Amino acid sequence: MALTELQPDVVHTHQIGAAWYLSRASLPSGRRIPAVHTEHGNHFARLGGWWATAKARFLFRRASRGINRFCCVSEEIAAACARWRTVPRSKIRVVPNGIPLDLPPDLPDPLATRAALGIPSNAPVIGTIGRLVEVKRQDVLLRATALLVRRFPELQLLLVGDGPERGALEGLARDLGMADRTRFLGYQPRPEAFLGIMSVFALTSRSEGLPVSLLEAWRAGVPVASSAVGGLPAVVADGETGLLFPPGDAAAAAAAIGRLLADPVLAGQIGRAGRRAVEERYTLDRMAATYEDLYRELLADNATGTRG
């Protein structure tokens, strides 16, 4: 249904492309639609060269004209959007992602999941959930896991997700002698089902905002090892709710993951601390309440003719 037919009171867009199209839309009366926008990643951190950066700044500047509240899931993304006055600071808000506290119902038994995948019940499992794209750098995770095999001979690796890098990653797994212990599970409608068999959840991205997969691992009590990129150092307390390592460094990633695999007490402490972090700061209820407040602000501004 077109906006002209729906005539919404408030519109909420996600990612800058949608905001661009909204900025060019108006109702038949000519009035702009009050709008909230959420940006989930640091678009500027993924660009190379001044021309690409200049085009991105133009896109954000023009798109943000039609946005009343420009929300970012982390302080790092907010700072990137505000730099060079690309997005007016008065419009920017930081609204972290949130997830339900309860695990989805009827998840399969972890032992059954292991059996279905052919993974022994006592084998340590490193896992990650995410698109198989360059920015996620699952190649670093493959190399890190290969370094750990000598210490943990039964070690297994799960890659949950699909994407254009899958073929290259499968080739790398073969080259590293990891094909028989790496499972490419592709797209899964219920990725949470695999968290129950992970000994460590690993993120090796070169750019991140606040990934929902990290919050889901915390909710499940799985200890996290992550690259220190984007908004993650402000979210993951190193040594408390996770272990951080420099991005792109397979040896450092292996050291962090290996520390968790070798020390069940530490792994348990970090897993429980991650669960508490979700309970205290990253619930769906808290996120929804924040957005509801923003919607109400815009409705009140619209009623009084205030431009926000």
pTM of the model: 0.90
CATH number of the structural domain spanning residue 8: 3.40.50.2000
CA angle at 38 for the pair 33 and 41, rounded to the nearest 5°: 145
CA angle at 271 for the pair 94 and 104, rounded to the nearest 5°: 75
**Cβ-contact 138, 159 below 8 angstroms:** yes
Q: Do 234 and 293 share a structural domain?
A: no
68 occurs within a structural domain: yes
Q: Domain span at residue 293?
A: 3-98+284-304
Indicate whether 223 pLDDT > 70.
yes
Count of structural domains within the chain: 2
Indicate whether 306 pLDDT > 80.
no
Q: What is the pLDDT of residues 267-297, one digit of tens each?
A: 999 999 999 999 999 999 999 999 999 999 9
Q: Which residue has the tokens 């992602």?
A: 97
Q: What is the pLDDT of residues 140-186, one digit of tens each?
A: 999 999 999 999 999 999 999 999 999 999 999 999 999 999 999 99
Backbone angles phi, psi at 284, to 5 degrees: -60, -40
105 occurs within a structural domain: no
pLDDT for position 304? 73
Indicate whether 21 pLDDT > 90.
no
Q: Which two tokens stand for residue 105?
A: 């119902």
Q: Do 192 and 67 share a structural domain?
A: no
**Cβ-contact 275, 219 below 8 angstroms:** yes
Residue 203's H or E segment, with its range, is strand 200-203
Query: Which of 4-8, 55-59, 204-208 has the highest mean predicted lDDT (pLDDT)?
Result: 204-208
Q: For residues 221-242, give the mean pLDDT.
A: 96
Q: Which two tokens stand for residue 253?
A: 């990633």
